[in-house]
Chains A and B, each alone.
Chain A
Amino acid sequence: MRDIKKIVLLSLGIVLLIIVPFMGEYITYLIGLALLFGIAALALNVLLGYSGLLSFGHALFFGGGAYSVALLMKHYGIYSAEVLFPVGIIFVALLSLAVGLICVRHTRVYFTMLTLAISELFYALALKLRSITGGDDGIRISKISLFGYEISSISEYYYVILLTFFLSVIILRTILHSPFGLTIQAIRDNDNRVKFAGIEVMKYRLMAFVISGVFSGIAGAVYGPLIGHVSPDDTLSILLSGEFVAMTILGGYTTFIGPIVGAFAFTFLKAFISSAIVYWYLVFGALIVGLVICMPTGIVGEMVKRMVRWGF
């Protein structure tokens, strides 16, 4: 019975996501954005929820993906998505391997500080190496094509995003429900015991780190053409890293789908509140504070709790 309910809800969700482009350009843009943030938040949660490691530098991988696409366009004139995205993914994989090697030797707040500081290194580089990255003006992305077909409207690009989203969710879910996923959760809960079982804890943490980085990078790579613009403040800043964490917590980091819900809630709240009042940051900050104090398990966590109470 429960499975049927789940399948019905899921297919309803998929159908809704497919018909989005018929609801107008702005909604399509917002949902596309939310889907990409959803991938990034899911990726962050591979570390946060499943490995117990809080990264405050995930904008680095998001921005790494975005910048590799933008730089290839600017300096090499490549506009084909089928070249840009794989190259971006390979770049981010190497980047997250290098950063991961430094960071996973630490846990807890030390891990957090390292991810933050290393991401700031790249933020500073993107800002200062003006001749390559365009400095704080960033890089404009004018067009993109897929197998020779130029994607001209946001509705068309939306389906690229949607496909990326579905693939990422399926792959991440498979990974997290595999023995690998169980192992990183065991490491999160008690790394000593796992060590005694003969498992190389560090290697697993590093793998989780790279997976997390790669999927953030995928979200970033697809993000640039949607926004039409890649800049340090939009894709690499510490504030974005923090927003990813906030989305994940807002949705609920103890569940798989929590981060997606959080990303949607965040994107729509931000769009509506910042169109109504100037002080979006004040509301957002207060929201985070309130969330941490009153609803630490997030939207999905809270819903699950209620459902259990009402006997669902």
Chain B
Amino acid sequence: MIPQVLNGLIFASILFLVTAGLSIIFGILRIVNFAHGSFYALGIYITYTITRLTKNLILHLLSPFIAAIIVGFVGILFEIGLLRRIYGRGELFELLLTFGMIFVFMDIFRIGWGSMPISDPTVTFTLGTISIRGLIIPIYNIFLIVTAAIIALVLWFLIYKTKAGMIIRATSHDSEVTSALGVNVQRVYTLTFFLGSFLAGFAGGLMLPITGGWIGSDLEILVLALVVLVVGGMGSIKGALVASILIGITRAVGISLFPKIELAIIYLIMVIVLLIKPTGLFGGADIERH
């Protein structure tokens, strides 16, 4: 059971990073960014390109971070160039615009990196494994979980303990009043988009040595992240954390117990949670108001 739980934690870490980005963007812009999975896949592909260039271990470990910054800037371009033109026109168009970007990115991946799946597990081999009580664990897996935990802490600190975080929370609560208080809300939107895309790209980069990337990895993670988002409560980072762990571990354990229908079990959890608590685990009264 322990290996499954460990695998589940890896998956949960990645799900958390992706969903946290999705949730922050939703919390502030009130947009569910369907292109979020594409940013994740872009993170995988860019990390792959970086690791092709060098054999240096440190650079390999840093490559997800570098890729994430690039993805963050792609997010900024997307927000400024396209999304900003349609604010206020209703969520139908915002959803459809981000949905259209899924298709655009799919072909960009095909053009840039080909249709075949990519993978680069070099870093896993270089780091090797450790054995804890007879259990062999790749060091990279531990690195991944620890990194994700650090990012979660930094995120929490950023949002709840800094002035920038206060502005973000204020904008999420009431963007009009925040704007009236002299905050450049437009810039908050752009920065939020950077942060959200950064998190997706980072998660993608971290997964390169484990799953690699393929056309369709964008949709797979998007759908799972949407499930986590709904189960945890839309816009809640805490909800994203709890739901990622729940879904991540369920999936890993489910794969070994019910190898055929582990995905169905995840969706079943979602339906049950929503039947009992329609706003998700940590979605407060906020939802009905908006």
Contact = CB atoms under 8 A, between A and B. Distances in A.
Interface of A: 48, 54, 56, 102, 105-106, 108-110, 112-114, 116-118, 120-121, 124-125, 128-130, 238-239, 242, 245-246, 249, 278-279, 281-282, 284-289, 292-293, 296
A242 B99 CA distance: 7
Interface stretch (B83-91, B120-128, B161-169, B195-203): B83-91
Contacts of B30: 109
B223 A120 contact: yes
Contacts of A124: 261, 263-264, 267
A182 B155 CA distance: 48
A124 B287 CA distance: 28
A289 B89 CA distance: 14
B268 A121 contact: yes
Contacts of A117: 223, 226-227, 230, 267, 270
23 contacts: A54-B92, A109-B32, A110-B230, A112-B95, A113-B234, A117-B230, A118-B271, A121-B268, A238-B219, A242-B102, A245-B96, A279-B107, A282-B108, A285-B105, A286-B100, A287-B100, A288-B97, A288-B103, A289-B82, A289-B100, A292-B97, A292-B100, A293-B97
Contact of A108 (B91, B99, B106, B275): B91
Contacts of B105: 285
B42 to A, nearest CB: 14
Contacts of B270: 117, 121
B264 A128 contact: yes
Interface in B173-211: none
A289 to B, nearest CB: 4
Given A281-B103, A281-B104, A282-B104, A296 B32 contact: no
B6 interface: no
Interface string B98-116: 0111111111101100000
Is chain B's binding surface mostly helix, strand, loop or mixed?
A: helix
B56 to A, nearest CB: 35
A26 B100 CA distance: 28
B275 A293 contact: no
B229 interface: yes
Given A114-B274, A121-B271, A245-B99, A54 B91 contact: yes
Given A102-B275, A124-B263, A129-B260, A293 B95 contact: no
B104 A113 contact: no
Given A286-B104, A292-B96, 19 more contacts: A109-B32, A109-B91, A109-B234, A113-B32, A116-B223, A117-B226, A120-B227, A120-B267, A121-B264, A121-B268, A121-B270, A121-B271, A125-B264, A246-B99, A282-B103, A282-B111, A285-B106, A287-B100, A293-B97
Contacts of A109: 30, 32, 91, 95, 234
Nearest to A52: B92
B273 to A, nearest CB: 11
A312 to B, nearest CB: 27
Contacts of A106: 278
B156 interface: no
Q: Which 9 A-B pairs have the closest CB atoms?
A: A288-B100, A285-B103, A121-B267, A285-B104, A282-B107, A124-B263, A281-B103, A289-B100, A279-B107
B108 A288 contact: no
A162 B163 CA distance: 63
B274 A102 contact: yes
Contacts of A289: 82, 97, 100-101, 104
A249 B287 CA distance: 27
B93 interface: yes
Nearest to A108: B91
A56 B230 CA distance: 14
B229 to A, nearest CB: 7
Nearest to A54: B92
Interface in B107-158: 107-108, 110-111
Contacts of A54: 91-92, 95
Contacts of B100: 246, 284-289, 292
Contacts of A110: 230, 234, 287
A279 B104 CA distance: 9
A128 B111 CA distance: 30
